[in-house]
């Protein structure tokens, strides 16, 4: 399986920092030139195929080096092949775009094959990348010398290294490197793991989980979504101002806000997936069922609902994230239909006698419980024969910008806190 190691990269001197910035900027320029010519051909402004790029990368060999310039072209080739593959499948996709411009700022990024860079980790970890002859002469590097950078961080995965991505993170004002590796390692080492779990995925409560061991976990997402909406409103205000005053639709600040919004959401979702599967691994869970929400995603209720389901929630990307994390623990993720689980009483099985109000599900049989946790329990009972009853006290978790922390109390949208004991009664 493929995994990635991420490191902080630091130039050893101001000269090295300038040299590194020049290399990354040249990579962005090469990407933009290739993309421009191919888009011109794709939209009919120029004759010929998008693959007819008359050695654009050749103009950057003096700065990047021959191998690095070719690797950037290969990366651009891959982006266009992915675009055409999506079009053939009928999926919505646009042609590859640009990495910014000199006025508004470029996305500074460089790619190198595994045989083009050297990454040594230890007491004095370092990364060495090639540089073209023109820059070597300008910065006084020897004929065989390469740019040497300090590396901070420890690898999380061992395995066969792949193409390195080196980029500048303007939000944190630092350089970073991502090294993909192919590894066969798995954390699942217990042949006795045979428990099952079911997940109810949503936006108000991102994950409600029930296991066959009787455990329940609830990851609340309201605070995350409100921060997402707040940043979205700020973006809209800046877009309106820039359009009104300058006739443009974007700016460096707007792009930074977009990246910050995405990074905050992805960081929380990554941490959620890891926290959840660490808990499930300890419960000896080997299979996790996730509801298929295709029909839900195609339903449009309101602007707020669309913003949750398509922008903030990013259901399909979240499922991919869950599946990828589950592989580390040897846990299988299966997507199954979950129709009516949110309206089904887990006590008597009725669907026409239940009422859902915000986070609470009630039934005329006397049941009252948390709607999403009840849905995950019903979903689990459909696919697992032995589900204990009653369930253990649910573990409710909230995001504090760094980790998911368990709270002794559950949170409801219109109440400050509600005692967990009233969330479920048999």
- Over its C-alpha atoms, the chain yields an Rg (Å, rounded) of 26
Helix (H, G, I), strand (E, B) or coil at 350: coil
Give the pLDDT score at 276: 95
Q: Which tens digit of pLDDT belongs to each residue from 290-301?
A: 987 654 444 444
Decide if 422 is inside a domain.
Answer: no
Give the pLDDT score at 293: 66
Among 182, 208, 242, give the residue marking a domain's end. 182
Decide if 418 is inside a domain.
Answer: no
Contact of 145 with 126, CB cutoff 8 Å:
no
Give the pLDDT score at 218: 94
Are residues 175 and 246 located together in one domain of the fold?
A: no
Please give the torsion angle defined by the CA atoms of residues 197, 376, 393 and 269, in that order, rounded to the nearest 10 degrees.
70
Are residues 178 and 199 located together in one domain of the fold?
A: no
Are residues 240 and 347 located together in one domain of the fold?
A: yes
Q: Taking CA 268 as the corner, what is the angle to CA 299 and CA 301, rounded to the nearest 5 degrees?
A: 15
Residues 6+ apart with CB under 8 A from 313: 202, 203, 206
* Calpha distance 271→416 (Å, rounded): 25
Among 182, 216, 236, give the residue marking a domain's end. 182
Give the pLDDT score at 425: 37
Each residue's pLDDT expressed in tens, for the chain with a length of 426 residues? 777 888 999 999 999 999 999 999 999 999 999 999 999 999 988 888 999 887 788 889 999 999 999 999 999 999 999 999 888 888 777 899 998 776 667 789 999 999 999 999 887 899 999 999 999 999 999 999 999 999 998 888 888 899 999 999 877 788 999 998 887 655 555 445 689 999 998 878 899 999 999 999 999 988 888 888 898 899 999 889 888 888 887 888 888 888 888 888 888 898 999 999 999 988 989 899 998 765 444 444 445 555 555 566 667 778 888 988 888 788 899 988 877 777 788 878 777 788 877 778 888 888 888 888 888 998 998 888 777 777 788 999 999 878 899 875 444 333 333 333 333 333
Among 136, 161, 182, give the residue marking a domain's end. 182
* Helix axis angle, 222-246 to 252-282, nearest 10°: 170
* Calpha distance 70→110 (Å, rounded): 12
Give the pLDDT score at 265: 86
* Calpha distance 264→260 (Å, rounded): 6
* Calpha distance 417→36 (Å, rounded): 55
Contact of 192 with 245, CB cutoff 8 Å:
no
Element (H, E) at 63: helix 61-64
Are residues 83 and 162 located together in one domain of the fold?
A: yes
Are residues 10 and 147 located together in one domain of the fold?
A: yes
Number of domains the chain is built from: 2
Decide if 231 is inside a domain.
Answer: yes
Give the pLDDT score at 416: 34
pTM of whole model > 0.75? no
In 202-341, alpha helices (H): 222-246, 252-282, 294-297, 303-306, 315-328
Residues 6+ apart with CB under 8 A from 279: 215, 217, 395
Q: Which tens digit of pLDDT belongs to each residue from 297-352?
A: 444 444 555 555 556 666 777 888 898 888 878 889 998 887 777 778 887 877 77
Q: Which domain holds residue 247?
A: 195-413
How does 306-334 read in b/e, with b if 16+ C-beta sit within 10 Å? Answer: ebbbeebbbbeebbebbbebbbbbebebe
């Amino acid at each position: 399986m493929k995994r990635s190691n991420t490191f902080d990269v630091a130039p050893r001197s101001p000269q090295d920092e300038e040299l590194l910035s020049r290399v990354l900027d040249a990579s962005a320029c090469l990407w933009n030139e290739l993309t421009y010519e191919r888009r011109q051909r794709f939209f009919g402004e120029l004759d010929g195929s998008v693959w007819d790029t008359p050695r654009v990368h050749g103009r950057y060999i003096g700065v990047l080096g021959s191998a690095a310039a070719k690797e950037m072209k290969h990366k651009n080739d891959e982006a266009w092949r992915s675009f055409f593959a999506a079009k053939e499948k009928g999926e919505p996709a646009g042609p590859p775009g640009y990495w910014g411009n000199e006025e508004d700022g470029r996305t500074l990024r460089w790619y190198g094959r595994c045989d083009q860079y050297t990454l040594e980790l230890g007491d004095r970890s370092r990364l060495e990348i090639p540089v073209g002859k023109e820059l070597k002469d300008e910065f006084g590097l020897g004929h065989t010398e390469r740019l040497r950078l300090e590396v901070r961080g420890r690898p999380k995965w061992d395995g066969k290294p792949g193409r390195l991505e080196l980029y500048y993170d303007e939000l944190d004002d630092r350089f970073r490197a991502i090294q993909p590796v192919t590894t066969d390692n798995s954390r699942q080492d217990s042949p006795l793991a045979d428990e099952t779990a079911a997940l109810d995925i949503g936006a108000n409560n991102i994950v409600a989980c029930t296991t066959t061991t009787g455990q329940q976990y609830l990851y609340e997402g309201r605070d995350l979504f409100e921060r997402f909406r707040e940043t979205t409103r700020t973006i809209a205000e800046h877009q309106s101002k820039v359009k009104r005053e300058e006739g443009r639709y974007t700016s460096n600040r707007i792009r930074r806000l977009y990246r910050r919004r995405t990074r905050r959401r992805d960081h929380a979702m990554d941490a959620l997936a890891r926290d959840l599967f660490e808990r499930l691994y300890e419960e000896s869970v080997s299979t996790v069922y996730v509801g298929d929400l295709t029909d839900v995603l195609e339903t449009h209720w309101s602007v707020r609902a669309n913003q949750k389901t398509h922008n903030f929630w990013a259901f399909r990307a979240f499922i991919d994230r869950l599946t990828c994390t589950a592989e580390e623990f040897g846990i299988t993720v299966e997507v199954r239909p979950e129709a009516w689980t949110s309206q089904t009483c887990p006590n008597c099985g009725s669907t026409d006698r239940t009422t859902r109000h915000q986070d609470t599900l009630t039934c005329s049989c006397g049941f009252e419980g948390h709607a999403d946790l009840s849905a995950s329990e019903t979903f689990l009972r459909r696919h697992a024969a032995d589900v204990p009853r009653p369930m253990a006290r649910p573990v409710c978790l909230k995001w504090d910008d760094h980790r998911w922390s368990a709270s002794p109390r559950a949170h409801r949208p219109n109440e400050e806190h509600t005692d967990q004991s009233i969330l479920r009664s048999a």
